[in-house]
């Protein structure tokens, strides 16, 4: 079996390794390739088993998966046509298209290797793009090695290089936190009910409210603080200057979606979400960030998830690229 490669946030590597061994046993052997990349060298699960554990929230801190094809020293990388043959020999049939995703152990994109593979595969009649194909070629570049990987998109966890999602900045944004909600919607393929009603807890300054409005939802934004004037001016945004608890005591509206990006510890945030349940319609979607920190962020995350599971079906839990020291949880109200 080929070695499995997994990417993580640099400061979450040890947490990911602990999760791996908790789920798949202590005989799993892992080596660190770089700051955000690990390799399972012995007793690896199948990539499908690994992806399922991540998709179900049993493994939180892994962002991207691929199966290693080959590793080279930078000065020993084969000719482009040989790399193309190496990749295509691993596929049962030549596809019409492949995604090629390159990244480095720094801030670079590895763009020169993208273009090298694009030309080499293109010469074989394969259309290459950066995303959107059923099969993903990964290329990780560091000062010591160039590693090629291959995986089906459905088992890759993310359609971005190493799980590093890059979203476009615009003058319309009111906060960086918008990236977190956008990434969650894209990564988990969430379909929000257009024309439905959404509750945004801890909304100020209104970044998540703005994204919910873009999805076609009418939004009740609950926060004692102010909203950005551009968000507050929207007639389908209802700003309630109150704490979540005070809002719950008087509210008469039933919501299809509830989101929570409040700055509080994991368990407190999860308890707020339990208090929100009577305000929700059956089957309502919940999106919440559980903040990290402390000596045992994995245990804290698990406690938060345990609390949420008392009233919600947890669908996904993962540390996304824009999360920093927190995780995003997707859940459904039964």
Catalytic positions are 291
**Which residues contact residue 23 at a Cβ distance below 8 angstroms, ignoring those fewer than 6 apart?**
53, 58, 59
Q: Per residue in 129-155, is it b (16+ CB within 10 Å) or e — as a string?
A: ebeebebbbbbbbbeebbbbbbbbeeb
Render 108-160 in DSSP notation, one character per residue: ---HHHHHHHHHHHHTTT-EEESS-SSEEEEEEE-SS-EEEEEEEGGGTS-SS
Q: Of how many residues is the chain composed?
A: 334
Q: Judging by beta carbons within 10 Å of its beta carbon (0-12, 13-18, 19+), is residue 96 exposed, middle or buried?
A: exposed
**Which residues contact residue 58 at a Cβ distance below 8 angstroms, ignoring those fewer than 6 apart?**
19, 23
Q: Which DSSP symbol is given to 279?
A: G
């Amino acid at each position: 079996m080929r070695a499995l490669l997994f990417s993580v946030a640099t400061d979450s590597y040890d947490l990911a390794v602990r999760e791996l061994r908790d789920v798949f046993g202590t005989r799993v052997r892992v080596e660190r390739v770089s700051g955000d990349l690990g390799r399972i060298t012995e007793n690896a699960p199948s990539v499908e088993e690994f992806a399922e554990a991540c998709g179900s929230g049993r493994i939180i801190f892994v962002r991207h998966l691929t199966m290693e094809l080959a590793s080279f020293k930078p000065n020993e990388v084969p000719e482009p046509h040989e790399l193309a043959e190496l990749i295509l020999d691993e596929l049962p049939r030549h596809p019409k298209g492949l995604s090629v995703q390159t990244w480095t152990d720094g801030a670079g994109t590895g763009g020169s290797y993208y273009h090298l593979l694009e030309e080499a595969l293109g010469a074989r009649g394969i259309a290459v793009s950066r995303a959107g194909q059923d099969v993903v070629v990964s290329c990780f570049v560091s000062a010591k090695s160039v590693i090629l990987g291959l995986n089906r998109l459905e088992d890759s966890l993310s359609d971005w290089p190493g799980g590093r999602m890059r979203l476009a900045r615009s003058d319309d944004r009111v906060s960086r936190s918008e990236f977190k909600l956008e990434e969650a919607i894209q990564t988990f393929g969430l379909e929000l009910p257009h024309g439905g009603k959404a509750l945004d807890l801890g909304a100020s300054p209104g970044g998540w409210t703005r994204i919910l409005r873009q999805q076609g939802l009418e939004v009740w934004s609950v926060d004692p603080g102010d909203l950005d004037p551009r968000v507050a001016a929207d007639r389908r945004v209802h700003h309630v200057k109150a704490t979540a608890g005070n809002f719950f005591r008087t509210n008469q509206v039933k919501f299809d979606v509830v989101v929570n990006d409040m700055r509080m510890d994991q368990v407190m945030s999860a308890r707020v979400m339990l208090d929100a349940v009577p305000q929700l319609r059956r089957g309502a979607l919940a999106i919440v960030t559980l903040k990290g920190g402390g000596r045992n962020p994995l245990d804290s995350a698990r406690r938060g998830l345990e609390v949420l599971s008392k009233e919600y079906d947890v669908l996904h839990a993962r540390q996304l690229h824009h999360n920093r020291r927190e995780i995003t949880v997707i859940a459904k109200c039964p």
